[in-house]
Amino acid sequence: MRLELGKIYIKDVQFGPQTKVENGVLYINKEELLKEVGGDERLKSIDVELAHPGEEVRIIPVKDVIEPRVKVEGPGGIFPGFISKVDTVGSGRTHVLKGTAVVTTGKIVGFQEGIIDMSGEGAKYTPFSKTHNIVMICEPVDNLPQHEHEEAVRMVGLKAAAYLGKAGKDVTPDEIKVYETLPLLQQVAQYPNLPKVIYVYMLQSQGLLHDTYVYGVDAKKIIPTFIYPTEVFDGAIISGNCVSACDKNPTYVHMNNPIIEDLYERHGKDINFLGCVITNENVYLADKERSSNYTAKLVEFLGADAVIISEEGFGNPDADLVMNCYKIEEKGIKTVLVTDEYAGRDGSSQSLADSTPKADAVVTAGNANEIIVLPPMKKVIGHPEAADVIAGGFAGSLRPDGSIEAEIQVITGATSEVGFGYLSAKTY
Amino acid sequence: MEKTIIVTNNILTMQKLKSKHKIDFVEGTLLDVLIKVRDYIHKNHKLLTHPLMGSIKPNQTPFKSVAISLKAQDNIDVESLMYIEKSIETAESLIKSKPPRKWPENVLEDFRVIDFDLIYNALNR
């Protein structure tokens, strides 16, 4: 499967009479966009605002972030199972409006978190302070059940990203990057002397506000299976995960999964990247046994010499991470785990809720309990009262000057468990 | 779905699942629920759902529901014991790091709904 990703670099986003990309600027016809995403009776109102890097703007509470993309050549369309039919995606050509992001805000539950600061200290912790953000603000009808609310806001985000992505369809990309994974036997034969690597891609799948979808299917109902990495770039994996802002994978992060990007970068150089095995993180312990058994069986069958495993979430998924690690290592296949930590404010507590001596190669994306001070912002987009909940919440407190002292877990993407962020370690 | 014991301090879980499962309702904290679960495990019941289900941290949500086997086995299930001990350790550590706050009733209701949904989905999959 071969995908050309045509990157159109967008340096500014403005409202204008026609939705189009011209000279690196994305112009948006606001009325047309709102018409495109509207019509869901579950939402009382939808509005859109823009937020640019460097502005004194806070977006809160962030539900999802999605990248505008469009399928230009090849089968299927973007976000299969939701916006497009379920044709297999991941081949041909896709255009991306690089530097833009659709951000949805919606107060689905009263403790909703997720902060994107476009400037100041908080901006350093979220990758979405560097994108021109098209923020969709959704208000539900009264007494809308939480799961309906989540679904309605999720669809607004996908529709908006698909609509905006179309503006790049006939634009010549600034850069074209080619990704290719061959059918297994051919892929193995292509680089016979390089170690064969599989990426075990764990998807949050516990239930309400903790779900992920694959081609429209609720991931808690799948058994682990193979997916070509380029399918993910076309939006085959969608986030319905709304809690734990710092380490949930927004749809944007799935579409730009940096583990996949990095494995492709080294593909044919020092590794042979065979593809991804997606698996879930269910609550029922027998499901965990089945999924980890299946995952280990599948990576062995695919002939992996080594496996990278990333998890999504806290607590319960640690058990899946450890089971996957243990069972894959038992088959004589090396593993590297990617996670984040809840190690207390001083970082000295146990980082995960589970462990195994076989997990002897672990990459951390940071300690979510670390403290940060967020300065007051001139403008808040979304639901300002959510800041009060965070300020008075379990992870933050309001200071007299209006700044918020909070754990970095309230910031969208701060400790991304696929490493889509800026935290790194230095030795002195 | 087989009948289980659900240890919970979430009234919504009790109301919605009491017709199909045996409910042990705990008038207490999330940690009290986990400790009650550990008691059952010491009496040879098997853990069926992960005690730290959900990404909402144990010092954030006050509610927890955990399913265990209706019948005791002949011996203690060591894996169940490991899970509950590690879960209690993690919960205690986070609660010590930052104790839970008092939430308004509408937020408490959201926590109840999510806790119920997660245990419901775990048992009805």
Instruction: Find the mean pLDDT for residues A42-71.
Output: 97
**Number of structural domains found in chain A:** 1
Contacts 24+ apart (CB under 8 A), A345-349: A345/A369, A345/A370, A345/A371, A345/A407, A345/B97, A345/B98, A349/B93, A349/B97
The pLDDT of residue A427: 80
The pLDDT of residue A111: 83
| Side-chain half-sphere exposure of A317, counting CA atoms within 13 A | 33
Cα separation of A271 and A259, whole Å? 13
The answer to whether the Cβ–Cβ distance between A208 and B114 falls below 8 Å is: yes
Instruction: Find the mean pLDDT for residues A341-357.
Output: 89
Q: Label residue A341 by pLDDT band (50, 70, 90).
A: very high
| Residue A56: pLDDT over 70 | yes
pLDDT, tens digit (0-9, with 9 covering 90-100), for A185-209 = 999 999 999 999 999 999 999 998 9
Cα separation of A82 and A155, whole Å? 8
The answer to whether the Cβ–Cβ distance between A206 and B83 falls below 8 Å is: no
Which of B55, B61, B90 is the best residue to mutate to test the A interface, defined by the most A CB atoms within 10 Å of its own CB?
B55
pLDDT, tens digit (0-9, with 9 covering 90-100), for B65-95 = 999 999 999 999 999 999 999 999 999 998 9
Which of A246, A247, A284, A352 is the best residue to mutate to test the B interface, defined by the most B CB atoms within 10 Å of its own CB?
A284
Q: Label residue A426 by pLDDT band (50, 70, 90).
A: confident
Q: How far is B37 from chain A (nearest CA, A)?
A: 15
Q: Per the domain annotation, does A135 fall within a domain?
A: yes
Instruction: Find the mean pLDDT for residues A4-11.
Output: 98
The pLDDT of residue A395: 61
**Is there a contact between A202 and A39 (Cβ–Cβ < 8 Å)?**
no
Is B99 buried (19+), middle (13-18) or exposed (0-12) by CB count in 10 A?
exposed
The pLDDT of residue A118: 98
DSSP structure string for A143-187:
T--HHHHHHHHHHHHHHHHHHHHGGGTTSPPSEEEEEE---HHHH
The two tokens of residue A294 are: 């299946």
**Chain position carrying tokens 């000295």:** A348
Give the active site residue among A138, A242, A276, A325. Answer: A242
Q: Per the domain annotation, does A84 fall within a domain?
A: yes
pLDDT, tens digit (0-9, with 9 covering 90-100), for A8-45 = 999 999 999 999 999 999 999 999 999 999 999 999 99
Instruction: Give A146's contacts in chain B (Cβ within 8 Å).
Output: 110, 113-114
Instruction: Give B94's contacts in chain A (Cβ within 8 Å).
Output: 342, 344, 369
pLDDT, tens digit (0-9, with 9 covering 90-100), for A353-388 = 889 999 999 999 999 999 999 999 999 998 877 777
Q: Label residue A253 by pLDDT band (50, 70, 90).
A: very high
Cα separation of A232 and A280, whole Å? 16
Instruction: Find the mean pLDDT for residues A327-331.
Output: 98
Cα separation of A218 and A202, whole Å? 13
The two tokens of residue A309 are: 């495993």
| Residue A396: pLDDT over 80 | no
Q: Which member of B52, B89, B101 has the closest CB to residue A393?
A: B101
Q: Label residue A424 by pLDDT band (50, 70, 90).
A: confident
Q: Per the domain annotation, does A394 fall within a domain?
A: yes
Order of strands, edge to edge, in the sheet holding A362-367? A225-227, A272-281, A196-204, A306-310, A334-341, A362-367
The pLDDT of residue A393: 62
Higher pLDDT, B1 or B8: B8
Q: How far is A251 from chain B (nearest CA, A)?
A: 17
Q: Output the pTM of the full model.
A: 0.96
pLDDT, tens digit (0-9, with 9 covering 90-100), for B3-46 = 999 999 999 999 999 999 999 999 999 999 999 999 999 999 99
Order of strands, edge to edge, in the sheet holding A237-241? A217-218, A210-214, A237-241
The answer to whether the Cβ–Cβ distance between A315 and B83 falls below 8 Å is: no
The answer to whether the Cβ–Cβ distance between B48 and A286 falls below 8 Å is: yes
The answer to whether the Cβ–Cβ distance between A206 and B87 falls below 8 Å is: no
pLDDT, tens digit (0-9, with 9 covering 90-100), for A81-122 = 999 999 999 999 999 999 999 999 988 988 878 999 999 999
**Is there a contact between B40 and B7 (Cβ–Cβ < 8 Å)?**
yes
Q: How far is A210 from chain B (nearest CA, A)?
A: 7
Q: Which member of A111, A221, A285 has the closest CB to residue B49?
A: A285
Report the candidate in A354, A304, A302 with the shortest Cα–Cα distance to residue A326. Answer: A354
pLDDT, tens digit (0-9, with 9 covering 90-100), for A210-251 = 999 999 999 999 999 999 999 999 999 999 998 899 999 999
Cα separation of A198 and A276, whole Å? 6
| Side-chain half-sphere exposure of B43, counting CA atoms within 13 A | 10
Instruction: Find the mean pLDDT for residues A147-153.
Output: 95
Instruction: Give A407's contacts in chain B (Cβ within 8 Å).
Output: 98
Instruction: Give B113's contacts in chain A (Cβ within 8 Å).
Output: 109, 146, 208
Cα separation of A311 and A360, whole Å? 16
Instruction: Give A393's contacts in chain B (Cβ within 8 Å).
Output: 60, 101
Instruction: Give A394's contacts in chain B (Cβ within 8 Å).
Output: 57, 59-60, 98, 100-101
**Is there a contact between A26 and A132 (Cβ–Cβ < 8 Å)?**
yes
Q: Is B115 helix (H, G, I), strand (E, B) or coil?
A: helix
Cα separation of B39 and B43, whole Å? 6
Q: Per the domain annotation, does A425 fall within a domain?
A: no
Q: Which member of A146, A394, A407 has the closest CB to residue B110?
A: A146
Higher pLDDT, B99 or A319: A319
The pLDDT of residue B8: 98
The answer to whether the Cβ–Cβ distance between A315 and B117 falls below 8 Å is: no
Q: Is the dihedral of CA B12, A64, A407, A320 positive or negative?
A: positive
Range of the domain at A162: 2-410
Report the candidate in A314, A317, A423 with the shortest Cα–Cα distance to residue A370. Answer: A423
Averaged pLDDT of chain A: 95
Instruction: Find the mean pLDDT for residues A138-146.
Output: 94
pLDDT, tens digit (0-9, with 9 covering 90-100), for B30-42 = 999 999 999 999 9
| Residue A389: pLDDT over 80 | no
Instruction: Give B120's contacts in chain A (Cβ within 8 Å).
Output: 207
**Is there a contact between A103 and A62 (Cβ–Cβ < 8 Å)?**
yes
The pLDDT of residue A391: 60
Task: List, in order, residues 6 or more apart from A366 with CB less than 8 Å away.
Answer: A340, A341, A408, A414, A415, A421, A423
Number of residues that this document lists for chain B: 125
| Residue A399: pLDDT over 90 | no
The pLDDT of residue A110: 84
Does residue A242 have an active-site annotation? yes
Q: Is the dihedral of CA A46, A48, A51, A52 positive or negative?
A: positive
The answer to whether the Cβ–Cβ distance between B97 and A110 falls below 8 Å is: no
Position A153, amino acid: V
Which of B29, B49, B50, B111 is the best residue to mutate to test the A interface, defined by the most A CB atoms within 10 Å of its own CB?
B50
Which residues of B lie inside 8 Å of A (Cβ-Cβ)?
47-50, 52-60, 67, 83, 86-87, 89-90, 93-94, 96-98, 100-101, 103-104, 106-107, 109-111, 113-114, 117-123, 125
The answer to whether the Cβ–Cβ distance between A394 and B104 falls below 8 Å is: no
